[in-house]
Chains A and B, each alone.
Chain A
Amino acid sequence: MNKLFFELGRYILFVRSMFFKPERFKVFFERTIHEMNNIGVGSVGIVTIISVFVGAVTTLQTAYQLVSPLIPMKVIGTIVSDSSLLEFAPTITCLVLAGKVGANIASEVGNMRVTEQIDALEVMGINSSGFLGLPKIIAGVIMIPCLIIVANFLMISGGILAARLTDLMSPNEFVQGARETFKMFTVTVSMTKALVFAFIITSMSTYEGYFTEGGALEVGEAGTRAVTRSCVLILFADFIIAKLML
């Protein structure tokens, strides 16, 4: 229990230490653009594959469960679009991004720690946590919601594609079902989740890397810890947001 409170306190202090006035705005801006490219553009491929398949599988499984002839097929469109917007796109995409982006950030920062590069920044008088962490957080908070928007679109597209390919229903029927019950609030919930999850992934991964001690083995362990802790926090935050907003 003591360890839990120690880690929690250290994490909060670490996050607080990151918010500072950059030494050179131009350098800070360049680093943020670089991170946006790494986190955002570098993840488009995996997000595309996952979203299309999750959308397609959700459509097929929903159709499998709706066996009553009294329920119109367009309901599948409603269920798939709503569950994609509310849950699958933000949560599943961010769980995958915790693995891809989180491990990458933790190992990069952890490697900088064990090779004294972070010490070198400190000796120069640079706020190392802010210099390394803040561009990643800003990049994550901007790019991950963009990825979630793409994932929302692709999941629904994957659903339409699966319905069309398996002759379950026509694309028009699917879209009609999706539009009939569409509420803008579901997009608000989706974006809220994306923002919160983005902050969790980037800050937790930077934190784990920043406090790495030892060598290559510990850098690997930091990467694993960053992924598992980010995933647990994402699921926890998912529950809290669902409870508060829905």
Chain B
Amino acid sequence: MIELVNVNKSFSDKQVLFDINAKFEPGIPNLIIGASGGGKSVLLKCMVGLFKPEGGSINYDGRDFVHLPYEQVREVRREIGMLFQGTALFDSLTVEENVDFPLKMFGKMTPDERKDRINFCLSRVGLENVNKKFPAEISGGMKKRVGIARAIALETRYLFCDEPNSGLDPITSRRIDELLHDITQEFKITTVINSHDMKTVYDIGESITFIYKGKVWWQGHRNDLDSTRAHNHELDAFIAASQF
């Protein structure tokens, strides 16, 4: 479980996140939703350690990520997988080498075991016969799948996805959503997904956190979303605009 307690972040004199408190449970897709510029990506980057928050704590199963010594932060990071908005695959490496990268750097497997693990991860995300291709030679949807395969290669405990559907057609988007949902349940990962796609929210979202102007405006279950929007003007406006 990941727990955020009073997380604050500002850039120069502009505060972006205000006392964020939230919990993200394992085994279910946790969605962070909100309009662009609301602070979703900054929050995600604080959670994975790319930005350091000014105040508060980010607890990974009780380990305060913000205040841990550097060596222990790196230990926690090795349990984290991330799917970036632009996939962030290494251009100079093939698909196979991209998935192999974390295994080679941190795994304790023999070359044969690594090969089996690569093939397992790639087949789990529905990719076959692309092992030797470079990222530039495959489609956007396939890149996202390779990104997911790389993120789960090391038996990740925490998976973060920043706008996993951006730039994808509706059919591929749904497949990626289903894949993230299934992987989260199968491996009991704590998955946090940044999205403003309401179809994703209704299809796979279970715990929903709505961020508005850098604050947690609402957190609850997907089933409570429709009843809440009736008396939550900001949430209602966001959902209406997203569906439009």
Give A residues with C-beta under 8 Å from B: 23-24, 27, 111-112, 115-117, 119-120, 122-126
Contact = CB atoms under 8 A, between A and B. Distances in A.
Contacts of B75: 125
B220 interface: no
Contact of B88 (A27, A120, A125, A126): A120
9 contacts: A23-B106, A27-B105, A117-B88, A119-B84, A120-B84, A120-B90, A122-B50, A123-B48, A124-B106
Nearest to A127: B74
A23 B82 CA distance: 20
**Chain B contact residues: over half helix, strand or loop, or mixed?**
mixed
B124 interface: no
B85 interface: yes
B86 A116 contact: yes
B229 interface: no
A39 to B, nearest CB: 15
A123 B82 contact: yes
B76 to A, nearest CB: 8
B48 A115 contact: no
B105 A126 contact: yes
B104 interface: yes
Contacts, number: 53
Nearest to A118: B88
A19 to B, nearest CB: 15
5 tightest A-B contacts by CB?
A: A125-B77, A125-B74, A116-B88, A120-B88, A116-B84
Contacts of A126: 105
A23 B105 contact: yes
Nearest to A114: B86
Interface in B63-120: 73-78, 80, 82, 84-86, 88-91, 101-102, 104-106
A122 B102 CA distance: 12
A104 to B, nearest CB: 13
Contacts of A116: 84-86, 88
A115 B77 contact: no
Contacts of A124: 77-78, 80, 101-102, 105-106
Contacts of B78: 124-125
A123 B49 contact: yes
Contacts of B77: 122-125
A201 B49 CA distance: 31
B40 to A, nearest CB: 16
A126 B104 CA distance: 12
B166 to A, nearest CB: 13
Contacts of B106: 23, 124-125
A27 B78 CA distance: 17
Contacts of A115: 86, 88, 91
Contacts of A27: 104-105
Contacts of B85: 116
A126 B50 CA distance: 12
A123 B80 contact: yes
Contacts of B50: 119, 122-123
Contacts of B73: 125
A54 B102 CA distance: 47
A109 to B, nearest CB: 12
Contacts of B48: 123
A116 B104 CA distance: 20
Contacts of B104: 24, 27
Given A119-B50, A124-B78, 16 more contacts: A24-B105, A27-B104, A112-B90, A116-B84, A116-B85, A117-B88, A117-B90, A119-B88, A120-B82, A120-B84, A123-B49, A123-B77, A123-B160, A125-B75, A125-B78, A125-B80
A119 B84 CA distance: 9
A122 B49 contact: yes
B91 A117 contact: yes
A206 to B, nearest CB: 16
Interface in B209-234: none
Nearest to A23: B105
Contacts of A23: 105-106
Residue of B78, B85, B104, B105 contacting most chain A CB atoms (<10 Å): B105
